[in-house]
Copies of this chain bind each other. A is one copy, B any other.
Amino acid sequence: MGIKVQFDVLKDTVKKAFLNMGMPEDKAEICAQIHCESSADGVESHGLNRIPRFATYVGKGWVDLKAEPELVGRKGAAENYDGHLGIGITNAIFCGDRAVELAKEHGIGIVALRNTTHWMRGGTYAWRMAYKDMIGLCWISAESCMPMWGSDKISVGNNPLCLAVPRKKGPIVVDMSFSQYAYGKLGVYRLAGKQLPYPGGYDKDGNLTTDPGAIEETMRVLPIGYWKGSALAIALDMAAAMISNGKCGSDLDEEARGSCTGCSQVFIAIDPYLFGDVESLQAMLDRRVEAADNAHPVDERHPVKCPGEGTLERRKKSMAEGVNVDEQIWSQIQGLAAGAMDVEDLASK
């Protein structure tokens, strides 16, 4: 069941929950803001819904609430940090911001982060780079959660890739993983007794299916574009591990800790105004978005949109009407905030 909670109430409660876990005040402020923004943007799966799991990870020692990213190498427009298993959000924000600073100086900047933890919603860092007037590109190397194409066993991460273009009228932002549906989404459809709109994986007989429960059973989630998504996911995995001198997906598989624990991430910022003026480049973007949005729709009730446009609409609605929150999750977060339930309680569940 979903209920609506005002953003400020939500953020205040989430921040208290983080403080109760032992998170320093400055990090709790940032993490509360980001988790609540993700839910407000409609990405509940990586916003509020992740907080109980985050608490269990803290309890298991998979996240060090006080660690800071440490510079371990620097050359020209590139920097490398060790995340020391610090908070995924604050580590990633730091590195994304560093990439922006490097891009201001060199035109392009890259920051490779190793040994970090789950960054929650990848789009956070792409949106942030776009709002700093940069083209932002970031991706991760994660543990396996989907089969390589041709395999029936999980063997590659769905390694999210995010790309943001800084448009004044609203950034164009893609935040995608390489599995057609997240496991969370499969569960949502199954609980609602619904079929997926498009095939999302294979059943136990090896047939493509829209039955979410049948896919959860086999864990044979489908890479987007079949062989194509599988190929890009494994290449991004290797690229991230290589640049960051960090762990690749199969290293993480061997460690068998929580999702993204010890993973590698890459943040690239590109100054888009190096070779053209703001006005004409923004006019080009507006022209492009207009042409795309005016593409003849399959269904007149659902006009075409560029990625990010829907997010801004949802954000506005959430700010006006309250943020949608799952009732059970909200109750758990309130428990964490009240100190009635600590991370060990959650970890033991």
Contact = CB atoms under 8 A, between A and B. Distances in A.
Nearest to A176: B228
B288 A241 contact: yes
A306 B150 CA distance: 10
12 contacts: A80-B275, A135-B242, A148-B295, A150-B295, A152-B298, A173-B235, A198-B226, A224-B226, A234-B306, A241-B284, A248-B284, A251-B284
Q: Which interface residue of A112, A242, A285 has the most chain B CB atoms within 10 A?
A: A242
Interface string A164-206: 1101000011101010100000000000000000100000001
A205 to B, nearest CB: 12
Contacts of A224: 224-226, 228-229
A4 interface: no
A102 to B, nearest CB: 9
Interface in A304-330: 304-307
A250 interface: yes
A107 B174 contact: no
A1 interface: no
Contacts of A163: 232, 235-236, 239
Interface residues of A, number: 88
Interface in A231-276: 231-232, 234-239, 241-245, 248-251, 253, 268, 270-272, 274-276
Q: Which interface residue of A80, A153, A226, A231 has the most chain B CB atoms within 10 A?
A: A231
Given A274-B78, A307-B235, A250 B292 contact: yes
B248 A287 contact: yes
Interface of A is mostly: mixed
Interface in A283-306: 284-285, 287-289, 291-292, 295-299, 302-306
How many monomers of this chain does the complex have? 2
Contact of A275 (B77, B112, B153, B226): B112
A198 B226 CA distance: 9
Contacts of A76: 77, 105-108
A145 B183 CA distance: 32
A155 interface: yes
A348 interface: no
Contacts of A250: 287-288, 291-292
Contacts of A172: 234-235, 238
Q: Which interface residue of A112, A150, A172, A251 has the most chain B CB atoms within 10 A?
A: A150
Contacts of A72: 275
Given A165-B242, A198-B226, A238-B285, A153 B274 contact: no
Given A198-B226, A288-B241, A78 B304 contact: no
B176 A276 contact: no
A110 interface: yes
A150 B305 contact: yes
